[in-house]
Structure 1
């Protein structure tokens, strides 16, 4: 398969890249400025692309002619928890996080949808249970919650719009993972999360388009 992954230089994105490369697939690994651990991967199947999804600028690098799997993984948390409280969260923080976590995946799909349609492929948008209204019992974290919630809605619209072309779209919750974003305080490691999410992706057609699914295959209340 031809697989394109955004935010592939570290964390979950890097985990996805390593997983699919180990299976012999061709991976286009996208990153904003720093390739990170991608430079340590020696594989003819790895193709790197410089792509800042927070802007409308064109990606730098050769893209595949067709894409069997597009993983919109790139995202940011924004200010720390205190900086996203009701009293302190700013309009600038809200817009910055929304731009990357929600508008960013939309930009990517707008750019690549014809390549995914050509392959009748799958789009997996990585959101978070933090964006679930049904699961929100602690409040706060305004910017991150709002952006990830909006991504679920955008993902559902993509699913409806692309379904006639044979493209399946799903939304993923990776779990609370030990990454830089969580300051390594997660409940599961990257390998556990990625192994689970790739199983969900492999069975994407078993779910309704745009469905919100956790790494363990359970539906996330929205």
Structure 2
């Protein structure tokens, strides 16, 4: 029996991952939701953990508490995220509340979740912790062609990258693997709601199901040699500034620069 936890499983990539992992024989999949009830349209074999809100300071304790007494996890994937647009104008500009939401969801909550799981003995030697980041968190890949704006979206992912690196150092002795990945530019409600659907075709956006398949394949092959590193399992195909900044003939998977 393998035990998998998907944090942020009700939509987008998280939903696809939950469904795909739940379809595997001999697996038990825990999936989180902010609501009190299990959402519709998912396999009955999923085990839902309710009232898990990444904006709450007790999120780690809440999650570990619902898993108390369970077997240690083989895979933990933290995929929850938020994206609200910002620019430098006086009309829109940066938004304080939106920034706090993005930083908390993307880069603060994951630290508390991993910390609580580890101290509840729910992580073991060989556990794989996958932090879903984005190429948007790479400072090296930011280029004048793209311009500025969207401060918290990019910076919260950069913060998650650093948090993941530090967690990998803290968990190395325990044998826990921490992988930070860009899963691909996806055709989700989140990217649609901020207007990025206009770039789906040009940017090579994929469905959440396609991205989930890549994440699962990456996770299956993952070992300690890549712990604490930042990768794009699908390669450079949907990273707009990859060739501009890093050059031609880039490989797949692609290790991303910080």
TM-score (normalizing by structure 1)? 0.89
CA distance in structure 1 between the partners assigned to 2:57 and 2:97 by the alignment: 19
Deviation at 1:140, TM superposition (A): 1.6
Q: Does the CA contact (< 8 Å) of 2:19 and 2:43 recur in 1?
A: no
Equivalent position to 1:122, from 111, 115, 128: 128
Radius of gyration: which is bigger? 2
Q: Does the CA contact (< 8 Å) of 2:180 and 2:231 recur in 1?
A: yes
Q: Does the CA contact (< 8 Å) of 1:70 and 1:116 recur in 2?
A: no
Q: Does the CA contact (< 8 Å) of 2:71 and 2:122 recur in 1?
A: no
Structure 1 gaps of 5+ residues are none
Secondary structure of the 1:165 match is coil
CA distance in structure 1 between the partners assigned to 2:34 and 2:225 by the alignment: 32
What residue number does 2:232 align with? 214
CA distance in structure 1 between the partners assigned to 2:123 and 2:31 by the alignment: 20
Q: Does the CA contact (< 8 Å) of 2:22 and 2:43 recur in 1?
A: no
1:193-218: CA deviation from partner (whole Å, max 9, x where unpaired): 11111111112216422111113222
Structure 2 gaps of 5+ residues are 235-252
Deviation at 1:92, TM superposition (A): 2.9
Alignment of 1:96-111 (within 5 A): 96-111=101-116
What residue number does 1:56 align with? 57
What residue number does 1:200 align with? 218
What residue number does 2:246 align with? none
1:92 and 2:93 equivalent? no
What residue number does 1:66 align with? 72
Q: Does the CA contact (< 8 Å) of 2:79 and 2:132 recur in 1?
A: yes
1:117-169: CA deviation from partner (whole Å, max 9, x where unpaired): 33531100000101111111222210110100000000000111101101000
Distance 1:34 1:180, change over 3 A: farther
Distance 1:56 1:175, change over 3 A: same
Larger deviation: 14-23 or 180-189? 180-189
Distance 1:144 1:94, change over 3 A: same
1:147 and 2:164 equivalent? no
What residue number does 1:173 align with? 182
TM-score (normalizing by structure 2)? 0.77
What residue number does 1:113 align with? 118
Count how many residue pairs are aligned between Structure 1 and Structure 2. 216
1:41 and 2:42 equivalent? yes
CA distance in structure 2 between the partners assigned to 1:221 and 1:35 by the alignment: 40
